[in-house]
C-alpha cells in the first residue's frame, strides 16, 4: 500500500510531530508528510520538519488570533490539495478551523487534545483537569469540526493524576500518552481501516 500523504499543522514545539516521525522511521507508520505548516513563525515544529527534509510553510494571519481569515484559510486549503494531501493532522494547532478547510477535507482532519473529551475542551486542558481535582486525565484523538474540540472521538488514553502533580508534570505525563496514541490512530488511516 502506498504511504498516505499527510500534512501537519502545528503552533508549538512539535513533540507530537516528532512522535509521528519516529514511528515512520521505525517502520510502524505508513504515512508520508508532504508539508508542515504553522501559524507561529519560529515554532519548534519548523526546525523538526527542516531537519527531516520536509517542506515547511508559515501562515501569516494579521487579522485574527483564534482563527484564520477566510482568504488565508482558502489559500491554505488549496496548497494542501495541490500538495496531494489526503489527511490533515493537527498537532498542537491552536486556532479553530472554518469552512474552507472543513469543506476541502471532510472527515479528513484530525486533532489531538490533552484531555478526555468532552471534558476540558479549550486551552491548557491539563490545568483544567488539575483544578477540577479529577483522578484521571488523558488525551483524545478526534475528527475536527467547526467547534472547539467537539468532533467525533476516534480514540482516547487515560493518564492518572498523581498526588503532588503540578500542571507541568501532568502535562508531561499526558504528552507521553499522546506520543503513543497519535501514531497508533494515524496508522488506522494509513492502513485504510478508517474511511
Ligand atoms: C499537545 O499537548 C496537544 O495535545 C495540545 O498542544 C500540545 C502540543 O504539543 N493541543 C491542544 O491543546 C489543542 N486543543 P506539541 O507541539 O509538543 O505536539
Q: For 99-135, what is each residue's pLDDT tens digit?
A: 999 999 999 999 999 999 999 999 999 999 999 999 9
- Ligand 1 pocket check for 149: Cβ under 6 Å: yes
Structural domains present in the chain: 4-190 (3.40.50.170)
What is the position in ligand 1's atom list of the atom closest to the CA of 111? 13
When pLDDT is cut at 50, 70 and 90, the band that residue 19 belongs to is very high
Whether the pLDDT of residue 75 is over 80: the answer is: yes
Give the CA diameter of the chain: 50
Q: Is 10 in the pocket of ligand 1 (CB under 6 A)?
A: yes
Using CA atoms, how far residue 154 sits from 10, 78, 142, 143, in Å, is 20, 26, 5, 7
142 is catalytic: no
Mutate to test the pocket of ligand 1, among 8, 16, 141, 182 (most ligand atoms within 8 A of CB): 16
Retrieve residue 17's grid coordinates.
510531530
- 113 CB within 6 A, ligand 1: yes
Percent of the chain with pLDDT over 70: 100
Q: Which atom of ligand 1 is nearest to the CA of 94?
A: 13
3-state DSSP assignment of residue 131: helix
Instruction: Give 112 Cα–ligand 1 centroid separation in angstroms.
Output: 7
- Percent of the chain at pLDDT exceeding 90: 98
d(CA 5, CA 30): 9
pLDDT at site 195: 75
**Does the CB atom of residue 179 touch ligand 1 within 6 A?**
no
151 Cβ inside 6 Å of ligand 1: no
Average pLDDT over residues 35-63: 97
Q: How far apart are CA 67 and CA 9, in angstroms?
A: 13
User: How far, in Å, from the CA of 113 to the mean position of ligand 1?
Assistant: 6
Instruction: Evaluate whether 58 touches 36 at the Cβ level (below 8 Å).
Output: no
Amino acid at each position: 500500500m502506498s504511504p498516505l500523504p499527510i500534512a501537519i499543522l502545528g503552533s508549538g514545539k512539535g513533540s507530537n510531530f516528532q512522535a509521528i516521525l519516529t514511528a515512520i522511521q521505525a517502520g510502524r507508520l505508513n504515512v508520508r508528510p508532504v508539508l508542515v505548516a504553522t501559524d507561529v513563525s519560529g515554532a519548534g515544529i519548523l526546525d523538526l520538519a527542516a531537519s527531516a527534509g520536509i517542506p515547511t510553510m508559515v501562515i501569516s494571519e494579521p487579522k485574527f488570533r483564534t482563527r484564520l481569515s477566510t482568504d488565508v484559510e482558502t489559500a491554505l486549503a488549496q496548497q494542501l490539495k495541490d500538495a496531494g494531501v489526503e489527511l490533515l493532522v493537527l498537532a498542537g494547532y491552536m486556532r479553530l478551523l472554518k469552512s474552507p478547510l472543513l469543506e476541502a477535507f471532510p472527515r479528513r482532519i484530525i486533532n489531538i487534545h490533552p484531555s478526555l473529551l468532552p471534558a476540558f475542551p479549550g486551552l491548557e486542558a491539563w490545568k483544567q483537569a488539575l483544578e477540577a481535582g479529577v483522578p484521571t486525565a488523558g488525551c483524545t484523538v478526534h475528527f475536527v469540526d467547526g467547534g472547539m474540540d467537539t468532533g467525533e472521538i476516534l480514540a482516547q488514553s487515560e493518564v492518572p493524576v498523581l498526588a503532588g502533580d503540578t500542571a507541568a508534570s501532568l502535562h508531561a505525563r499526558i504528552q507521553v500518552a499522546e506520543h503513543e496514541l497519535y501514531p497508533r490512530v494515524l496508522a488506522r488511516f494509513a492502513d485504510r481501516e478508517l474511511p
